[in-house]
Structure 1
């Protein structure tokens, strides 16, 4: 049985605490703002969380930001200063990328005359989480109609039993139903432990731009 507690949520973040089979950790599902000033505030918030949390922490979603120019294909080069905010979080907040498979250039779009692909979607974890789930990995899938690729994060892929798998897709959606659907998503998360070991929210993708599956199932 999975126990999930909602710690905090807003339009760009769902922060939860998960307990399963004697293990507990924080998990943050993020869709970072398109505005750089807002993203800077978010990375500052994450730094505060990293300092306050002496426990396992997993973060996944659309970071809407890059660490290096090498994480981008196409278009003019970005100034090095544009990577500073996320780099500060990575240098001080203790996050490490999960090993990944598939093409990690997870977003594609037309910017002016250029077709651009870049790695905006990530799955990272702090060192305590990485020590507990040393074989964890992230798999990037093919595009499914969105300009972002969906991805799976496997916590214990070598076990006979998948003890934690997250699928997260976040799309920018400014329609009026987004806030209502976001609340609906939180309500479903709170009811997760009443639904056994397979919690899936397929309607979130079309209504609020969030698709979040938490699955523990036999192979």
Structure 2
């Protein structure tokens, strides 16, 4: 069965979210449905999701050889609908599983679009992110990727509340502000209070948890390295 959600972004843009048939006998009906949908859509549109098939032998590693017939059918429907594969960054494979002790990797998830869509979003990039808690990579389509280093944003982590010291640090800063005055409008006083509370929490977080972010980034980096290996074992 073909699960598809159609979203009309504006009068000229259409976006289709697809989950392709995992059963071989139902794949032909998926491609026919896509062809039928494309007849009523003109101009700039794209399709993204898990197609549950590959377009070339190089898009699979491990396991049995892919079906040439199925790859031809997939490429035919893309050509019939006027859809091209978008460039991506990240792992070459978006799905991995283990069968009989062997790692099987495939690029089942992708974003395809018409030439008109590509001309409108010429800088768009697809990011194949690290697999965490799933055998599929989340794919992220960024139509306007930012160049340069983004500004750091303060984020309050929910797990901080499990530490009694967190609440005490906040109470201490608010009590100090209430007793110390400071003048100005109520809004400016609140802004100063939030800034000081943020600084205190950042100091407390470094002392309490150390380089938690660096450790998390190290784990993601290691996952990326493992998932980039066609035979990680």
* Matching residue of 2:9: 18
- Between the aligned partners of 2:66 and 2:97, the Cα distance in structure 1 is 16
Q: Which residue of 2 aligns with 1:215?
A: none
Q: Deviations along 1:150-207, whole A, 9 cap, x unmatched? A: 11101122589xxxxxxxxxxxxxxxxxxxxxxxxxxxxxxxxxxxxxxxxxxxxxxx
For residues 89 and 104 of structure 1, the distance between their equivalents in structure 2, rounded to whole angstroms, comes to: 22
Whether contact under 8 Å (1:43, 1:89) holds in the other structure is yes
CA–CA distance in 2 between the matches of 1:144 and 1:150?
Answer: 9
Q: How does 1:103-118 map to 2 (within 5 A)?
A: 103-118=91-106
Secondary structure at the aligned position of 1:58 is classed as strand
Q: Say yes or no: does 1:60 pair with 2:48.
A: yes
Q: TM-score, normalised by structure 2?
A: 0.59
Alpha-carbon distance in structure 2 between the residues aligned to 1:76 and 1:38 = 20
In the alignment, structure 2 segments of 5+ residues that lack a partner are 149-233
Q: Return the alpha-carbon distance in structure 2 between the equivalents of residues 151 and 141 of structure 1.
A: 6
Aligned to 1:155: 143
From the two aligned structures, give the one with the greater strand fraction: 1
* TM-score after normalising by structure 1: 0.62
d(CA) in 2 for partners of 1:44 and 1:62? 17
Q: How many residues align?
A: 148
Q: For 2:105 and 2:16, how far apart are their aligned partners in 1?
A: 24
In the alignment, is the contact (CA less than 8 A) between 2:89 and 2:128 conserved in 1? Answer: yes
Return the match for 2:74 from 64, 79, 86. Answer: 86
Counterpart of 1:89 in 2: which secondary structure? helix
Answer yes or no: is the 8 Å Cα contact 1:13–1:28 preserved in 2.
Answer: yes
Return structure 1 stretches of 4+ with deviation > 3 angstroms: none
Mapped pair 1:140 → 2:125: no
Q: Which residue, out of 43, 52, 57, partners 1:69?
A: 57
Q: In 2, are the aligned partners of 1:75 and 1:115 still within 8 Å (CA)?
A: yes
Deviation at 1:84, TM superposition (A): 2.4
Determine which structure has more spread, i.e. the larger CA radius of gyration: 2
Task: Tell me the CA shift for residue 117 of structure 1.
Answer: 0.3
CA RMSD, 1 decimal: 2.1
Gaps of 5+ in 1: 1-9, 161-219
Structure 2 partner of 1:217? none
Equivalent residues of 2:94, 2:108 under 8 A apart = yes
Distance 2:95 2:87 in 1: 18
Alpha-carbon displacement from aligned partner over 1:90-149 (angstroms, at most 9, x marks no partner): 222111111110003000012344210010000111111111111111001101101101
